[in-house]
Chains A and B, each alone.
Chain A
Amino acid sequence: MRVTFTVNGERMTADDVWPGESLLYVLRERLGLPGSKNACEQGECGSCTVYLDGVTVCSCMVAAGQCEGREVGTVEGLADDHSEGSERRLCAVQEAFAEAGAVQCGFCTPGLLVQADDLISRTAGAGRGVPEDPEIREALAGNLCRCTGYEKIIDAVRTAARREHEQVGQEAP
């Protein structure tokens, strides 16, 4: 079957998709977007986390056919400007991860970033303030990391949320 959906703001089409093919597979193998990682194949590790119509999902657990006409956001689309040739600016959560030492091998990072971006947009970005540690830990509990011990990830999310919060505060009338 043919599946057409929007990925990071761009309309994309994949042909000859099997009914059983996952969204993750289509992103990685057909659309040239391997940022989302394949690590457990069963929705346990969160490495493949993407936005589907603004809600985070494990893309290994979503059939590609279910995405017809919908909007998908991946790690490749988090940066403010991802057009070819322009200088890529990192979004708040990407910047904070890179600074805080929250990135080591980098394989869990794309999924974590999408999940953290979602948390921050629901909290600091919505004027709810910086999330407390238990909320961060719980929100990211579905994203396994074997390298960091999680502490620096929490630091990064706090930092990104604080910056986002300050920005929202400035923008408010």
Chain B
Amino acid sequence: MTAVTNQTISQPLDRVDGPAKVTGRARYSAEIPLPGTVHAVLVGAVVPSGRTNTIQTGEAEQVPGVLAVLTHANLPKIAAQPRLFPSLFGHAAVGETFFPMQDDVVHYAGQPVAMVVADTLERAQHAAGLVHVSYHTAPSTTTLEQGRDRAYEPGRIFGGLLPGRMERGDPDSGLAKAPVHIDRTYRFAANHHNPIEPSSTTAVWEDDRLTLYDSTQGITATRLTVAELMGLPSSNVRVLTHYVGGGFGAKAMIWPHVALTAIAARYVGRPVKLALTREQMFSSCGHREEQEQHAVLGAGNEGRVTTLRHHKLSATSPFDDWAEPSLNVAAQAYSYPNYQGSYRLVRTNTMTPTFTRGPGEASGMFALESAMDELAYELGLDPIELRLRNHADADPLTGNPWSSKGLRECYQRGAERFGWRERNPAARSQRDGHWLIGSGTATAGYPVPAFPGLQPQRARARLYADGSAVLQAGTQEFGTGVATAMTQVAADGLGVPLDRVRFDYGDTELPNTAPAVGSAGSGMVSSAVHSAATSLRDQLVAQAVAQAVADSESPLHAADPSTVVVGDGRMMLRDRPETGETYSELLQRNGVEDAEALGSWQPTGMDTGYALTTFGAQFAEVAVDSDLGLVRVRRMVGAFAPGRVLNPKTARSQLMGGMLWGMSQALPEGTQMDSRMGRWANASLGEYLVPVNADAPEVDVEFVEVREDVANPLGVKGVGEIGQIGAAAAIANAVFHATGHRVRELPIRIEHLLRSA
């Protein structure tokens, strides 16, 4: 194996896409200048349940510039309905198994019932307002409260991947024997992702070949889904996605508007652009479901937790059994021998919920870590000490050792950085004027995706005779920094300077990789890129040392390849670096313009004999206005052990952003259902609150290094979600410490705390 001397991995390099983004040159999916492009606008149902009665399109059709008004009466039917399956697996991946405008049934408010296409956006919007729809309204269920009596236990959830019920040990007897119990119910408002870029698609047909510019977290998922829906060969659909304005799960699955745009483009014979409005984003790409979780801890007086019973009740759509997997990480967070978990669902008139950052772990760990904090107070133990006493040295689910963990170090280093030991443990013991001050902590955990059936990850490496190199993989960049990190992986794998490497991505014609979901992007794509780059390097070294061919002019002729090292684009003998030549010299001497290699990596299954989970520890300090109940988060510290960090600058930003998502989940964010109308009541950025700059606390991220040898070749465990997990619990625990009042509902609102004032 040839060694590489230059090292750019783990350097905090600036983003390669930074200049395009700060100059406004970056083109997002609704900004592709294609001649003749026309605009589509969706008309959503205003009732949550029933049927459309009449849809009058005449007035809209008369608007100058209108090319088509499509309804279930004239929209070409879909060819097939793909099943709901997480996009990570690399298949077609619809967000819900319902495709609108196939008949007159209305399942949820906002469901598209008509689509207008016109030459300008303004005309399309105007005409959309002139489509007159009347409804036969049926009774609806839109909240857990309305449907609680009709809850059911699904056999499986999450596209059939996870069981609806899990048990180990003897939870009944475990609870019966435990002298100390914490038995609590936690409630969670629905959340909408609200990436700053609303989803958009531009569709162009050339004969029977379709090109889509789509704001997606998975270009291959878009390709396969649209191909299946429209009955096209997959090879006839190309998806291009160079910039995506945030995803957070909203763009992880493929929602109906994407294929609707393609259908409209074929119908009118022009390129069609569809950009959802902010309001439509609340009923077009899923949400984190409204839910409640019942957690029961049974513990000994010394703080050893013997049992966790964790039941979840949540809202799903009329047609899919979806629940975000809230229980799994909580089930393996501590070493309880007895465990029981179950999901129950209520069918509601909403679209199918979906992945939302920290999908499941963010809610499940809120329940568990809030309960653990209560247990610590009940027993008079320091919350960190309680967690250490229950530390899982092996995975409680399987008994397997962790591939890497680092959680003890996360507690320790996070606590030091935060100043945890200086805290007075008594609740309501610290004031700053009329502000009550408190601090809280929580454990963070997020699985490294390891499943059977994941698709091979592929990349291509090409080196030109001038010494420049291109690495290609069909991934997509929605802000994570993957393009930058992959440039580093490519440079190190090939042994060429960073400025001689370009990373190409965002095109389904490139070798296929998984979508960027579930914190898996960097681990998956880096494995493929590393494989391609090192294959090409080894190929070139093999050529340089080859004895059989006539290239005896090669300075490395007949050398043992294991004695060759590569750096700055030059192959040389390790012991005699003056003996060697550049890749360029090798290719030029042989009259070859380029060299190319493909790399492939089969993702880890579940048969490694190890448990793969990323861990961390969260700390938060809050100030609560003793008169008004207003909560301000003053600072947050997170210590995380995500394995190899490819680029600390982009990784740190990811983790900080995740921590702010935790703060956002704790305080401002929540979508409220108006159950009388059956519609989301706050479907705008004016009313769906997210933190603004002036709300943001000081956020501090500490990396805890762990050596990870199982997950993938470079040991990357991922940073996309772990920053959020546990952060909301740390804040709620800090609110208790500040006020003596325990809030078991998210978001925490002023009215929860007014009585504590």
Residues of A within 8 A of B (CB): 18, 20-21, 25, 28-29, 32-42, 44-45, 47, 74-76, 78-79, 88, 90, 94-95, 97-99, 101, 103-110, 113, 134, 136-138, 140-154
Contacts and interface: CB of A to CB of B under 8 A. Distances in A.
Given A47-B196, A105-B246, A107-B245, A138 B694 contact: yes
Contact of A39 (B27, B122, B197): B197
Nearest to B12: A101
Contacts of B22: 75, 90, 94-95, 97-98, 103, 106, 109, 113
Contacts of A150: 660, 691, 693, 696
Contact of A144 (B120, B657, B690): B690
B24 A36 contact: yes
Contacts of A32: 33
B693 A104 contact: no
B23 A146 contact: no
19 contacts: A37-B197, A39-B245, A42-B684, A44-B684, A75-B23, A95-B22, A98-B22, A101-B14, A101-B653, A103-B15, A105-B479, A134-B694, A137-B696, A143-B692, A144-B692, A146-B248, A148-B656, A148-B660, A151-B656
B684 A98 contact: no
B237 to A, nearest CB: 25
A148 B196 contact: no
B18 interface: yes
B526 to A, nearest CB: 19
B197 A29 contact: no
Given A39-B197, A104-B653, A146-B657, 6 more contacts: A28-B31, A35-B25, A104-B246, A106-B479, A146-B194, A151-B696
B23 A35 contact: yes
B277 to A, nearest CB: 6
Interface in B643-661: 649-650, 652-654, 656-660
Contacts of A110: 24
A105 B693 contact: no
Contacts, number: 181
Contacts of B433: none
Contacts of B244: 105
Q: Give the most central of A20, A32, A45, A101: most B CB within 10 Å.
A: A101
Contacts of B277: 41
B76 to A, nearest CB: 28
A99 B479 contact: no
B509 to A, nearest CB: 24
10 smallest CB-CB distances across A and B, nearest first, come from A35-B24, A107-B245, A105-B479, A106-B21, A98-B18, A104-B479, A149-B660, A149-B656, A75-B24, A34-B31
A33 B652 CA distance: 32
B278 A39 contact: yes
A101 B650 contact: yes
B195 A98 contact: no
Interface in B182-237: 194-198
Contacts of A148: 653, 656-657, 660
Contact of A88 (B23, B652, B694): B23
Contacts of B656: 148-149, 151-152
B690 A103 contact: no
Interface string B30-56: 110100000000000000000000000
A42 B23 contact: no
B659 to A, nearest CB: 6
Given A90-B23, A101-B650, A151 B197 contact: no
A115 to B, nearest CB: 10
A140 B696 CA distance: 11
Contacts of A40: 278, 684-686
A34 B19 contact: no
A142 B122 CA distance: 26
Contacts of A108: 196
B680 to A, nearest CB: 15
Contact of A29 (B14, B120, B692): B120
A107 B197 contact: yes
Interface string B691-710: 11110101100000000000
A78 B27 CA distance: 17
B19 A147 contact: no
